[in-house]
Structure 1
Amino acid sequence: MQIGILSDTHGLLRPETLEALKGSEHILHAGDVGNIEILEALRQIAPVTAIRGNIDVYGPCAELPATEAIELDGHLFYLIHSLPDLDINPRQAGVSCVVTGHSHKPVFEQQEGVLYLNPGSAGPRRFGLPVTLARLQIAATLTPELITLL
């Protein structure tokens, strides 16, 4: 199963983002959506699970949950926008992957059997960082891939 993972679109959905997510069977958005139409466009590719981020304070994006847990292909994913706000012990909760955003810095890191994945920012370029998202292959293990858009 292929999962598309993005964060921090900040109201900008690039054509390159849509192209990179083609073939995804589910899409996870880790907050700072910025415009609900982004989620509607992503749903044209695959089902979407999304949370709100710190900029999602008005309108429909403000109604998104702050955290979300979803099981995909036998693996539990936990979405939270900012890693310092993590409010559970992922290993004890049986989480396979914690998906975050906020920092705009892509990170793939294993800790105590849990994958911590920040896809970076797919929105406007900030802080001199690349514009990125991630794809994740679910098989016997979780295999992430960073996709640099710009």
Structure 2
Amino acid sequence: MPKDTVHIGLLSDTHGHWDDRITHHLSGCDEIWHAGDVGSLAVLDAMQQLGAHVRVVFGNIDDHQMRSETAETLHWEVQGLRFCMTHIGGRPGRYAKGIRSLLNANRPDVFICGHSHLLKIQSDPSFGGLYMNPGAAGLHGFHKKRTLIKFSVTGGQLEQMHVVELGNRTKKAPNQE
């Protein structure tokens, strides 16, 4: 029997980094989605150890081993909502090559990507859905804040969406909490 509410944690661009802050915020999620640049199988293992259903796409920094364990693009449904996730997607008005045709062909309710390290959630009337980029949860890149997104799907509707700030991006791993 399907759950009435599905709690989801969405992150991207960990670049091989996982810490107790990420574990804390994703614990209790029914599903964990990673929009690429995972960076190591250890991060994939850490997600799986939380007991949630894990959906992952590979990114441009992910090696052949990670690519053999994950997909370039995923399409799925949660309570009738259609999702599409890939790593390099661009943004509304400036989608990466091939993304416009992907969106037109699949018409997802929600399109998810990573790569830019720029947190953005925006309605996009060009495909009639919601664009989501969770920013970056890792330590590599130019972003100042490490972020992820948590939300729920209830009765086929997105609810309780909020951004989680994991702290400042630093060259060293943050103290374990």
Does residue 141 of the first structure (1) align with residue 157 of the second (2)?
Answer: yes
Aligned mates of 2:53, 2:38 — CA distance in 1: 16
Aligned mates of 1:87, 1:44 — CA distance in 2: 35
Task: Name the TM-score, length of structure 1 as normaliser.
Answer: 0.90
Q: Which of 27, 49, 52 in structure 1 is aligned with 2:55?
A: 49
User: Displacement, 1:41?
Assistant: 1.3
Alignment of 1:100-119 (within 5 A): 100-112=113-125, 113-119=128-134
Task: Name the TM-score, length of structure 2 as normaliser.
Answer: 0.77
Deviation above 4 Å: which 4+ runs of structure 1? none
Q: For the pair shown, which has the larger CA radius of gyration, 1 or 2?
A: 2
Does residue 23 of the first structure (1) align with residue 28 of the second (2)?
Answer: yes
Q: Which of 110, 130, 148 in structure 2 is aligned with 1:97?
A: 110
1:97 touches 1:117 (CA, 8 Å); kept in 2?
yes
The count of aligned residue pairs is 149
CA-based RMSD: 1.7
Aligned mates of 1:92, 1:65 — CA distance in 2: 18
1:67 touches 1:78 (CA, 8 Å); kept in 2?
yes
2:75 touches 2:82 (CA, 8 Å); kept in 1?
yes
User: Displacement, 1:57?
Assistant: 2.7
Residue 15 of structure 2 aligns with which residue?
Answer: 10
Alignment of 1:23-102 (within 5 A): 23-45=28-50, 46-58=52-64, 60-63=65-68, 64-83=70-89, 84-85=96-97, 86=99, 88-90=101-103, 93-102=106-115
The residue type equivalent to 1:149 in the other structure is L
Aligned mates of 1:53, 1:69 — CA distance in 2: 16
The alignment-based identity, stated in percent, is: 32
Aligned mates of 1:26, 1:38 — CA distance in 2: 15
The residue type equivalent to 1:80 in the other structure is T
Aligned mates of 1:149, 1:125 — CA distance in 2: 14
The residue type equivalent to 1:141 in the other structure is Q
Consecutive unaligned residues of structure 1, counting only runs of 5 or more, are none
Label 1:145 to 1:54 Cα distance change in 2 as closer, same or farther (>3 A). Answer: same
Aligned mates of 2:143, 2:71 — CA distance in 1: 29
2:117 touches 2:143 (CA, 8 Å); kept in 1?
no
Aligned mates of 2:122, 2:105 — CA distance in 1: 18
